[in-house]
Structure 1
Amino acid sequence: MSVPDLLTLGESMVSLRSTGPLAVGGSLTMHLAGAESNVAVGVARLGHRAVWVGRVGTDEFGEYVLRQLRAEGVGVDGVTRDPDRPTGLMVLERRTADLTRAQYLRAGSAGSALSVDHLRAPLAAGARLLHLTGITPALSDTARAATGWAAETAANAGIPVCLDVNYRARLWSRDTARAVLTPLAGHASIVVASADELDLLGEPGADESAVVADLFRRGVHTVLVKLGADGARAHTPDGVRHAGALTVTAVDTVGAGDAFTAGYLSGWFDGLDLPGRLRRAATLGAFVVSSPGDWEGLPRRAELSLLDGHETGSVIR
């Protein structure tokens, strides 16, 4: 069997979403959550072969995670079931129309016990690209060591590494994140970050141009800076290119960054030029923010052109 296009690792959880304030008994619905698995689903829906490696409990939540990923065509053969630790949970509370609060119930979870030994076989099998985020090394000392080992091993084997900073303030401080992510970025070919995350890859308070120049010196080829509704900037040794966001009605922005990354990597797998990769990244981001859920609104390949020249409230007949 050919190697997968995408290999990614991290923690996938069950997300319990409320439609109103939890303190007054807002109802909850169950969803799959996890930055890395969001990206895996995004590229799988576009016809690429994606594999996710992680750990879940032997509980029903773990079964739900695996069932959802299998249904989306994501390979999970390398996933480990832990009989002693639970699958991680996240509660998303829709407090107002414009504000969602996240609460994590993942301390001591199966996913946090990820270690190097869990990654040896999947990485030895190879991949066209390894995708990592800054969430996984924040989970535990063993997960931190595993992430660093995977990045270094892949880079030494000639497998390009994509690192999405994905800073989570509830998991670690900016200083701790900087100390871990700055050396980790030295193994990456592609770095993805929002504008307020970039200095986690360099000196505190460093401006964008300084951080990008330093990343280039360390071997990074492309730096993607996510700008939300303003689109994104792509830095390459050939210069800087700005890509605007597609205009849609946003109903849920959770997962937008992961969708952007999935679209960019899909374009990379398909051999698109930089404008084409950025266009696909913006397209996937637009689909996700205009649909409820982290990943549920991600398009399939036949749907990629649906938003081309659309108008708000359009009906395709």
Structure 2
Amino acid sequence: MMDIVTIGETMALLTPIEERPLKYSPTLSKSIGGAESNVAIGLSRLGKKTRWIGRLGKDPFGDLIMSTLAGENVELSKVVRDESHPTSVYFKDIYRAGEPAVYYYRKGSASSVWNPDHVKEDWFIDSRILHMTGITPALGEETLSFTMECMIMAKSLGLTVSFDPNIRFKLWEEERAKKALLSLISLCDIFLPGIEEAQFLFGEKPIELLAKEIIELGPHTVAIKLGKAGAFGMRKDESTFTVPGEKVANIIDTVGAGDAFASGFLAIVAEDVQNFSLEKALEWGNRMGAIVIQGKGDWEILPTLEEIKGIKQTSR
């Protein structure tokens, strides 16, 4: 039985080895990155059984992604290897601390050709939670319909559906993004936007009103990430929690913070899908996000269960 299944694009990641701008770097290190697989890794390290479903080229970059995720105990039996379309690649320029510059090469990729006919019941029947993001619907002509079909089928099979808008304006125009994402909110049970994403979708207004408008669309729970200020959550009965942010002395790389939050949050949801503690989920989400931004990499420093509980670990 899987605790959580995630579906989305994972890319090969190339980053300068030396602390200098990308254009002047003669050598690059390779890794992987993708919102949904980041969440799968984070949950796996927290002791949850996770499955990642993606579409990869039948190429060395696809092999890299498969071997990396397998090494993190993520279940990969439903991954599709596409001989006709390549694995996506991106480059990260991180010679300065904070928000790095990122360059994507994903047009015509294997992930961009997902369509609703690809969705299978056996992706979900042994799982309890589905997590997806707003990146997938922006990738291709039919990937919005694909995302909708995944969420509808998962819900019909009794799964709790979690959705992070994860807005990437490099992938689509603002109006198209807004229309698509609003249509997907009604299909999820848990919605995990950042404050700027919530304001983009619903306008600038008090956070409780933002959360209430989201709840009215269908989700039973909303958690709004507030950056260093923490996180705010509301349930369908309009009960609310505000959890302050963790203190971070040195921010190195902010990419992956939202995925880390989702990992911590959903780890608590998975403990009791019907009656989980919203306050504890917000706390774990904050803690995971705070840890990730203190090092380099989208997922490499995601903590284990022992580490997030503050238990000293002598070996890995």
Global fold match (TM > 0.5): yes
Which amino acid is 1:90 matched to? Y
CA-to-aligned-CA distance 1:217-237 (integer Å, 9 cap, x gap): 232111111111111111223
2:292 matches 1:305: no
Match of residue 137 from structure 2: 137
Alignment correspondent of 1:264: 265
Work out the CA distance in 1 between the residues paired with 2:263 and 2:207: 23
Equivalent pair of 2:121/2:153 in contact (CA under 8 Å): no
Percent of aligned positions that are identical = 33
Measure, in 2, the Cα distance between the counterparts of 1:205 and 1:122: 41
CA-based RMSD of the aligned residues comes to 2.0
Q: Write the mapping of 1:13-28 to structure 2, written as runs, cut at 5 A.
A: 13-18=11-16, 19-25=19-25, 27-28=27-28
Shift of 1:299: 1.1
Contact 1:42 1:298 in 2 (8 A): yes
Deviations 1:115-167, CA, capped at 9 Å, x for gaps: 22332144353421110100000001222111011112222332111110100
* Cα-to-partner distance string for 1:196-238 (whole Å, 9 max, x where unaligned): 1114544x55664444223222321111111111111112234
Aligned to 2:231: 232
Does residue 292 (structure 1) correspond to residue 292 (structure 2)? The answer is no
Contact 1:40–1:262 (8 Å) recurs in 2 = yes
- The number of equivalent residue pairs is 306
Question: Could you say what secondary structure the match of 1:15 adopts?
Answer: strand
Q: 2: distance between equivalents of 1:16 and 1:264?
A: 29
Judging changes above 3 Å, is the alpha-carbon distance between structure 1 residues 132 and 23 closer, same or farther for their aligned structure 2 residues?
A: same
The yes-or-no answer on 1:12 pairing with 2:13 is no
TM-score normalised by L of structure 1 = 0.90
- Alpha carbons of structure 1 residues 85 and 140: separation in structure 2 relative to 1, 3 Å: same
> Displacement of 1:97 after TM fit?
2.8
Is the Cα contact below 8 Å between 1:128 and 1:160 reproduced in 2? yes
- The amino acid across from 2:228 in the alignment is A
Residues 1:218 and 2:222 are matched in the alignment: no
Structure 2 CA distance, aligned partners of 1:302 and 1:227? 26
Q: Which moved more, 1:189-198 or 1:244-253?
A: 244-253
Unaligned segments of structure 2, at least 5 residues: none
> 1:126 and 1:142, CA in 2 relative to 1: closer, same or farther beyond 3 A?
farther
List alignment gaps of at least 5 residues for structure 1: 309-317
Q: Structure 1 residue 95: deviation in Å?
A: 4.7
1:1-317 alignment runs, 5 A limit:
2=1, 4-18=2-16, 19-25=19-25, 27-202=27-202, 208-236=207-235, 237-248=237-248, 249-271=250-272, 272-306=276-310
After superposing the two structures, state which structure 1 stretch, 235-244 or 98-107, moved more: 235-244
